[in-house]
């Protein structure tokens, strides 16, 4: 009996041993399978986030070199293109910095008359990774400013030069103001991109501006800032929508921008050259540097021209859907040395409108002309022109129809002028303040007092001034005629002097 129990027990033990062996075998296979899958997933993930090597221009599998290039100290090459008058004959020398998804061939389309009259030389260059400039895997906010300085030195632009940056190129101008201000004669930032993480922005303001973007664009910037190593994968994967800007989505632009896009597409025949070395070292690197952690904040910059030997201008449209105007306004408020120009009705692409580049460059080099002094965008868009003209006309009518006004013409001009921060009409603003003070003392008595001649002289000059302004709206080339510009300026000052004289005389009149 004992032997039988022992045999049964042995058989049970054998079966249990086999089961344990089978379980261990299956468990081992499952563990190894999981391990293989995990390692495979890691390998796939690593491969997915690694960008392909760039197709450097001049390499065996890269595009050919067709542009003029300089060799930088670190061995990289920078491609450039010269425009305007010959360098040796130039009075003004400008370095133009292109924006996102652009290159040196997207030049500043200045009118030949302006170029010749002022003696303007412009050099545009491909930022690293774009066009035919070598990629710079070590690119930083500071390195771009140093590249510009070295380009200027090798081309012998002189000790000082002007810089103009568009969109993402505007961020480069901030770095120039930080790292090479001693080399600058002046700077213009045209629809400059803003980093939402710059220190100095109120949290609620930057958050509100950030939320205005499409959700996919919010994620693109979020990844670029917090996880730059994922930037390539995020912008190349097909599971979630990626950057609408990279995809050339037309819906992100304002109605005015969409009209201008047709003009751009009809003349831009070099689009293939922009990304020809690969998207990572051009577009994606732009996102990482532009929206990453900066070494400084533009809101902390001091005035680079404390002695007024130069000026810094920021141009922005109030209907820009790519860069919120609220952040640009805040920067201008925090940096009082910035000359801020906000364009009503303008989107992100306003600079390609007819006559805009001439105005931007003239303002930078020689000061504001009459069109900008009155907040009128020379031939920018019909709606903003008519709105401004309507404001001016109504102000003239108010002045002549009211017996006791509240500033009349100059109140209207003051409202328009202050929206542009125009320095060109400081005297007019001073006249407005004097007029508003004096009007309460008896401007309504002008019709009863014996200085009717002054009244009609003032009115006649004002009407002539309005006609000249209206002609400049319809025919922008008129602003290029020096004689008419001079006459317009004289009329501005004459109108102001007459108004101030009128108010002083009236304020001295005894009560009737």
27 domain-assigned: yes
Over its length of 512 residues, how does the chain's per-residue pLDDT go in tens digits?
444 556 656 555 555 555 556 556 556 666 766 666 666 666 656 666 678 888 999 999 899 999 999 999 999 999 999 999 999 999 999 999 999 999 999 878 899 999 999 999 999 999 999 999 999 999 999 999 999 999 999 999 999 999 999 999 999 999 999 999 999 999 999 999 999 999 999 999 999 999 999 989 999 999 999 999 989 988 888 888 888 888 888 888 988 888 888 878 767 788 889 999 999 999 999 999 999 999 999 999 999 999 989 999 999 999 999 999 999 999 999 999 999 999 988 999 999 988 899 999 999 998 854 333 333 333 333 334 444 444 444 444 443 343 334 444 444 444 444 443 333 344 444 444 444 334 333 333 343 444 555 556 666 666 666 666 656 555 656 656 666 666 766 766 666 666 556 555 544 444 33
399 domain-assigned: yes
* Predicted local confidence at residue 380, as pLDDT: 36
> And the tokens for 174?
């901030």
The verdict on 276 and 328 lying in the same domain is yes
| DSSP structure class, residue 83 | E
Q: How far apart are CA 106 and CA 94, in angstroms?
A: 15
Q: Name the domain count of the chain.
A: 3
| DSSP structure class, residue 248 | T
* Predicted local confidence at residue 82, as pLDDT: 97
* Predicted local confidence at residue 466, as pLDDT: 62
* Predicted local confidence at residue 270, as pLDDT: 84
The verdict on 90 and 44 lying in the same domain is no
pTM of this prediction exceeds 0.85: no
Q: Domain boundary at 367, 391, 423, which?
A: 367
* Predicted local confidence at residue 144, as pLDDT: 96
End-to-end Cα, the chain, rounded Å: 143
Any residues with CB less than 8 A from the CB of 374 and at least 6 apart, and which? 388, 392, 413, 416, 417, 420, 422, 425, 469
The verdict on 440 and 359 lying in the same domain is no
301 domain-assigned: yes
The verdict on 110 and 237 lying in the same domain is yes
Give the strand pairing for 312-317 and 338-343.
Answer: parallel
- Beta bridge pairs of residue 79: 69
Give the strand pairing for 161-166 and 184-190.
Answer: parallel
The verdict on 76 and 187 lying in the same domain is yes
- Beta bridge pairs of residue 314: 189, 340
The verdict on 35 and 136 lying in the same domain is no
> And the tokens for 240?
């979630």
The verdict on 342 and 397 lying in the same domain is no
* Predicted local confidence at residue 10, as pLDDT: 54
Q: How far apart are CA 101 and CA 35, in angstroms?
A: 42
* Predicted local confidence at residue 290, as pLDDT: 96
> And the tokens for 82?
């010269």
The verdict on 334 and 190 lying in the same domain is yes
| Nearest 10 degrees: Cα torsion 495, 467, 260, 219 | 30
The verdict on 388 and 321 lying in the same domain is no
512 domain-assigned: no
123 domain-assigned: yes
390 Cα distance to chain centroid: 29
The verdict on 135 and 247 lying in the same domain is yes
Q: Domain boundary at 367, 387, 410, which?
A: 367
- Residue 72 in 3-state DSSP? coil
**CATH, residue 72:** 3.40.50.1820
83 domain-assigned: yes
The verdict on 302 and 422 lying in the same domain is no
Residue 336 lies in domain: 53-367
* Predicted local confidence at residue 37, as pLDDT: 65
Place of tokens 């990289």: 76
The verdict on 194 and 73 lying in the same domain is yes
């Amino acid at each position: 009996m004992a032997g039988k129990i022992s045999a049964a027990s042995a058989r049970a033990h054998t079966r249990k041993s086999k089961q344990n062996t089978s379980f261990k075998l299956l468990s081992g296979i499952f563990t190894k399978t999981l391990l293989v899958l995990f390692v495979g997933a890691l390998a796939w993930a690593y491969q997915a986030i690694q960008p392909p090597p760039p197709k450097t221009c001049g390499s065996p599998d890269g595009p050919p070199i067709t542009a003029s290039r300089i060799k930088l100290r670190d061995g990289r090459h920078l491609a450039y293109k010269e425009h305007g008058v010959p360098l040796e004959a130039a009075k003004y020398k400008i370095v133009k910095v292109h924006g996102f998804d652009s290159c040196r061939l997207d030049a500043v389309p200045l009118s030949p008359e302006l170029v010749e009259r002022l003696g303007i030389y412009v050099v545009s260059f491909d930022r690293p990774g774009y066009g035919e400039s070598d990629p710079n895997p070590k690119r930083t906010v500071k390195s771009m400013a140093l590249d510009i300085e070295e380009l200027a030195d090798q081309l012998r632009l002189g000790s000082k030069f002007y810089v103009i940056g568009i969109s993402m190129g505007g961020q480069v101008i901030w770095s120039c103001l930080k790292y090479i201000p001693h080399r600058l004669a002046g700077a213009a930032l045209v629809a400059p991109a803003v980093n939402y993480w710059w220190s100095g922005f109120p949290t609620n303001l930057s958050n509100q501006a950030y939320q205005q973007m499409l959700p996919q664009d919010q994620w693109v910037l979020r990844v670029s800032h917090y996880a730059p190593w994922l930037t390539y994968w995020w912008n190349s994967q097909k599971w979630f929508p990626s950057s609408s800007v990279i995809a050339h989505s037309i819906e992100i632009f304002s109605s005015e921008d969409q009209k201008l896009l047709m003009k751009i597409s009809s003349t831009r025949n070099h689009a293939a050259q922009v990304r020809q070395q690969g998207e990572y070292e051009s577009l994606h690197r732009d996102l990482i540097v532009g929206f990453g952690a900066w070494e400084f904040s533009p809101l902390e910059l001091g005035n680079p021209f404390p002695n007024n030997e130069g000026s810094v201008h920021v141009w922005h449209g109030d209907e820009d859907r790519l860069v919120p105007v609220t952040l640009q306004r805040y920067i201008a408020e925090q940096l009082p040395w910035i000359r801020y120009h906000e364009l009503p009705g303008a989107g992100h692409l306003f600079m390609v409108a007819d006559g805009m580049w001439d105005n931007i460059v003239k303002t930078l080099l020689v000061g504001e002309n009459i069109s900008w002094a009155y907040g009128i965008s020379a031939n920018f868009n019909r709606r903003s022109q008519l709105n401004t003209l309507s404001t001016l006309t109504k102000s003239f009518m108010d002045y002549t129809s009211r017996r006791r006004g509240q500033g009349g013409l100059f109140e209207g001009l003051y409202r328009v002028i202050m929206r542009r921060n125009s320095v060109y009409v400081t005297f007019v603003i001073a006249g407005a303040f004097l007029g508003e003070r004096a009007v309460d003392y008896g401007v309504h008595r002008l019709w009863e007092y014996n200085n009717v001649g002054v009244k009609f002289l003032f009115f006649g000059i004002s009407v002539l001034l309005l006609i000249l302004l209206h002609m400049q709206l319809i025919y922008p080339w008129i602003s290029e005629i020096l004689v008419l510009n001079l006459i317009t300026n004289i009329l501005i000052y004459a109108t102001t002097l007459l108004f101030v004289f009128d108010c002083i005389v009236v304020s001295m009149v005894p009560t009737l």
